[in-house]
Structure 1
Amino acid sequence: MVQSVARATDILDSIAHAGGAAHLNDIAAATGLKTTTAHNILKALQTAGYVRRRAGDTRYHLGDRILNLARVAGDDDALRHSLRPALEAMATETSETVFLAVPSGDEVYFLDAIESTRALKAASQRGHREPMAGSAIGLLFLAFIPALRRRMFDTHADRIGPGIAAEIEAIAERGYALDRENWMPGLNCIAIPWRDEGEIRAGFGLAGPSSRLTASRLKEMAELMQKIASETDGRYEG
């Protein structure tokens, strides 16, 4: 067991030293492992979410669990600072409560929020945590982070009912998540992804009273937030 752990950490180190992605042969050479041994360990790491493969790319990349650990270890403040202007723009343009959230293990962590100044509004959830399958932004992460989705389906199948699985598929097709009074009566929410070099790193959300955020208004808000987020995509410097 100790030898297996040591080999796995050596493989992760080799990928990190290669810039976050490396081919199997290069990993085997860097760690001194046989190609078949390295491949078997990489398969286990991939299943656990510590490495991942990208479509059309034969290299192994560091996975979302490693990236989340790095974020938790000290990246939160940098990400919050970097994306604050986008959050402020969304708050100004929509006049609703907006928030920034990130995946944290099997939960959603609300990293930042700006509360609406309107009398009837959604409260800020900054600093709160929610189950991944319990909110629009959590379903957003499940829809756009395949390794996270596989892990949740494998380890928390009891939380993923047929309705949630269908909604995850709808979000992936639509490009954003909607919650129409599912989480809380009288409250509607939107969540859109934010990408850093093509990878989903965080999500922006908006919440407000269902009486004001009608179906057509939700669609308008989603398109506006997507536009603002797209202007920030890939500009994070952590």
Structure 2
Amino acid sequence: MNISQNNPAMIQSIERALNILECIANAGGALRLQQIAEAAELRTTTAHNILKTLGALGYVRRRPHDTRYYLGDRILNIARIAGDDSGLRRRLRPHLEAMAAHSGETVFLAVPSGDEVFFLDAIESPEALRTASQQGERTPMEGSAIGLLFLAFMPMLRQRMLALHTDRIGSAITEEIESITARGYALDEQNYQQGLSCVAVPWIEDGELRAGFGLSGPSVRLPKSHLETLAAMMQGCCEG
């Protein structure tokens, strides 16, 4: 239904774009182009052009070897913010506790929030020399292991950040993002802060990254070999 025809103050293109997002959501989060056009009562070319814009902005995405359109990183981020962060924190707290118990280091749960990392939850290490909790804090996306993890596993977010912040995201960061994608987790060996090392793993549901778990501590206790061992342990906690 075209409501804008009866209300001159409404912008038709915005109405159509929101209608397409609702159609995808109502279908369970994925639809093919022809299905979207039929559900939104649009010509296929019109629907395709709107989807291209929504895709460039990160509101829809397509997966490799899949012709369907999915809700993108930015719409999922809006849904999370509008929803219940405390519910996500409660649901993932047992995984965080398992990581803390197995590692003895400071562990945290973080989510993408706009173009920043937001730390939802954390458990500090009992060691005297430890990393402090960042719960409730926000940090730049491109600076830390957890931020680079989000950029590696959220293609639309990565494209937007590269387009907006070419001055801050250089070739070295781009290469590291590719390495993270290949190995499945992020490592930081004193890059973000001298004397501090970190490892981060993704929390994925229905094929999409929803959050990230991180572990950090003094570099003297966390050489690269131990970080890699902790990455496997954290991935096991996520699966368990």
TM-score by length of 1: 0.94
2:124, 2:35 → 1: CA distance? 49
Q: How far 1:123 moved relative to its partner?
A: 0.2
Pair 1:72 & 2:81 matched:
yes
SS of residue in 1 equivalent to 2:90: helix
Counterpart of 1:203, as a letter, is: G
Which residue is 2:5 aligned to? none
Counterpart residue identity of residue 162, structure 1: S
Correspondence 1:142 to 2:147 = no
Instruction: For 2:141 and 2:194, locate their aligned partners in 1 and report how far apart those are by CA, in whole Å.
Output: 19
In the alignment, which residue of structure 1 is the partner of 2:4?
none
Amino acid of the residue matched to residue 131 of structure 1? P
Question: Structure 1 residue 147: deviation in Å?
Answer: 1.1
Q: Residue in 2 aligned with 1:98?
A: 107
2:86 is the alignment partner of 1:61 = no
How far residue 198 of structure 1 moved from its aligned partner, in angstroms, is 2.0
TM alignment of 1:1-238, pairs within 5 A: 2-231=11-240
Deviation for aligned residue 1:20: 1.2
CA separation in 1, counterparts of 2:13 and 2:165? Answer: 26
Alpha-carbon distance between aligned partners in 2 of 1:119 and 1:70, rounded to the nearest angstrom: 39
Amino acid at match of 2:146: I
SS of residue in 1 equivalent to 2:159: helix
Report the Cα offset of residue 56 of structure 1: 2.4
Report deviation, 1:75. 3.0
- Deviations along 1:144-164, whole A, 9 cap, x unmatched? 111111111112111111111
CA-to-aligned-CA distance 1:20-64 (integer Å, 9 cap, x gap): 111111211122111100000001001100011112221111111
Q: State the SS of the aligned residue for 2:136.
A: coil
Identity of aligned residues (%): 64
Q: How far apart in 2 are the matches of 1:105 and 1:36?
A: 30
CA displacement, residues 103-146 of structure 1 (integer Å, 9 cap, x when unaligned): 11111111110001110000000011111101110001111111
Structure 2 residue runs of 5 or longer lacking an equivalent are: 1-9
Q: Give the deviation of 1:215 after TM superposition.
A: 1.8
1:57, 1:162 → 2: CA distance?
Answer: 29
Q: Hey, what's the Cα distance between the residues in 2 that align with 1:216 and 1:18? A: 45
Runs of 4+ in 1 over 4 A off after TM superposition: none
SS at match of 1:117: coil
SS of the aligned residue for 1:158 comes to: coil
Q: In 2, Cα distance between the equivalents of 1:35 and 1:175?
A: 37
1:194, distance to aligned residue in structure 2 (A): 1.0
Structure 1: where are the runs of 5+ without partners?
232-238
- Structure 1 distance, partners of 2:12, 2:47, is 13
Deviation at 1:200, TM superposition (A): 1.0
CA–CA distance in structure 1, aligned partners of residues 235 and 65 of structure 2:
26
What residue identity is the alignment partner of 2:182?
E
1:236 match: none
The higher radius of gyration belongs to 2
Distance of 2:233 and 2:21 partners within structure 1: 39
